[in-house]
Amino acid sequence: MSILIKKAYILDMVGKEPNIKIGDIFIRNNIIEKISENIVCDADDVIDATGNLIMPGLVNTHTHLPMSIFKGYKDDRSLMDWLNNSIFPVEAKLESDDFYFNSCLSILEMIKSGTTTCNDMYFGTEKIIEAIEKIGIRANVSWCITDDSINDKIEKTREYFKKYNVADSRIKVLVSFHAPYTCNPKTIELCVNLAKELNTYIHVHLAETLDEENIIKEGYGKSPTEYLNDLNVFDVKTILAHGIYLSEKDIDILKNKDIGISHNPISNCKLSSGICDVTKLHKNNIKVGIGTDGSGSTTTLDMFEEMKCTAYLQKVNTLNPVAIKAYDVLKMATIEGAKVLGLDKEIGTIEIGKKADLIILDLNKTHLFPLNDIVTNIVYSANGADVRTVIIDGNIIMKDRKIYSIDEQELYKKVDNICKRLL
């Protein structure tokens, strides 16, 4: 299998400053083999990308794939009210196939808006993996462990890890527990031991709301970050979702550990959770990627919307228009996100030898014209519908906005029936 992409603006996301040139890219199997001004060779697929931009696929560092049915369901509530009274009771009724169809819908939306990698945390993992394999996204998955049936979940995580964490696999299995306020210390300790045994990452929600901070302070007399540190969580490579309520002491703990943070700006805004101080994290050399969170709390899984929100929140939070630049935000959504997930040697930039996870954007749009600055146009003006073609692991998953691996209308019917039954 080979693909030749001709005459595109290429934004490689390699340097500290943007580097855009017009040229060709040749992909053989799943690897970028050549990048040059003019490549002449045979290929199974030739894509004329004249007037289009090719860039690395977007990396969504925090998702809950089966939550697609919660889009628009019980909006405008606080996190604890929303979770306890609206989400958890419905999640308890999800049936096996629901996980598959709901995940397919999320993956479809992500691919149509240029996301090529996601980092998921949920339950019903077997069916989530089935959806990932069906449509063809790159994904980290983890069974979100809470205090009930813990031995069963640990055994399942171990089983999936052995099956999927093999060379060249698009799917990686991590260990996750939900949050400091939903897991007791014994559960957290078992998760840390499992992550050490498997030498994999832990994925966990941390420092998302003031309520969480108060619950842990009342229960243990310390911040959620100090609490997890005392339970040796950060002895393991860790992906922390949110990171809003971090004191100087918390940042001192985290900056010396192998951790990365998923900033989920729209979810944080919608639930009024607070603002993650990305600029402060960057000053302390803490890796930060961008995530959407689940469809319930973010509504759209379009990473272009998240990029805009990331830029605006940092500017207004610091009252400083140069607090973060568009290119820094674009890096968070590509190579920095890949670093948070430990995948930066494989994806996140366009370089010879890297995996071919690429998106092609149609720049011939009214809202993107004129092209005075392509990078700022992408962050401040573009949206997911501008993505024309998506290549993941060397496979064309979407071409000219058509996805061939699944019947979209059939999927909508299935998900509609699930909503009618559960909501």
Q: Which is nearer to Zn ion, 187 or 262 (CB)?
A: 262
Only one of the segments 41-49, 69-77, 180-188, 291-299 lies at the binding site for Zn ion (rule: CB under 5 A); that segment is: 291-299
Closest residue to bound Zn ion by CB: 293
Residue in the structure block whose two tokens are 């306020």: 181
213 binds Zn ion (CB under 5 A): no
Q: Which three-class secondary structure state does DSSP give residue 97?
A: helix
Residue closest to 254 by CA, chosen among 220, 221, 288: 288
With contact defined as beta carbons under 8 Å apart, do 62 and 241 qualify?
A: yes
Q: Which is nearer to Zn ion, 15 or 72 (CB)?
A: 72
State in angstroms the smallest separation of the CB of 192 from Zn ion. Answer: 20
293 binds Zn ion (CB under 5 A): yes
- What is the Cα–Cα distance from 397 to 386, expressed in whole angstroms? 16
Only one of the segments 13-21, 67-75, 174-182, 285-293 lies at the binding site for Zn ion (rule: CB under 5 A); that segment is: 285-293
State in angstroms the smallest separation of the CB of 62 from Zn ion. Answer: 6
State in angstroms the smallest separation of the CB of 293 from Zn ion. Answer: 4
With contact defined as beta carbons under 8 Å apart, do 335 and 343 qualify?
A: no
Rounded to whole angstroms, what are the CA distances from 402 to 13, 112, 121, 399, 407?
26, 9, 28, 5, 10
State in angstroms the smallest separation of the CB of 135 from Zn ion. Answer: 21
Only one of the segments 183-191, 223-231, 287-295, 332-340 lies at the binding site for Zn ion (rule: CB under 5 A); that segment is: 287-295
**What tokens does 258 get?**
């192998």
> Could you tell me which residues come within 8 angstroms of residue 80 by beta carbon, excluding any fewer than 6 positions away?
209, 211
State in angstroms the smallest separation of the CB of 259 from Zn ion. Answer: 16
Only one of the segments 92-100, 109-117, 225-233, 292-300 lies at the binding site for Zn ion (rule: CB under 5 A); that segment is: 292-300
- What is the Cα–Cα distance from 211 to 215, expressed in whole angstroms? 6
91 binds Zn ion (CB under 5 A): no
212 binds Zn ion (CB under 5 A): no
Residue at 420: amino acid letter: K
Q: Which three-class secondary structure state does DSSP give residue 297?
A: helix
Binding site for Zn ion (CB under 5 A): 293
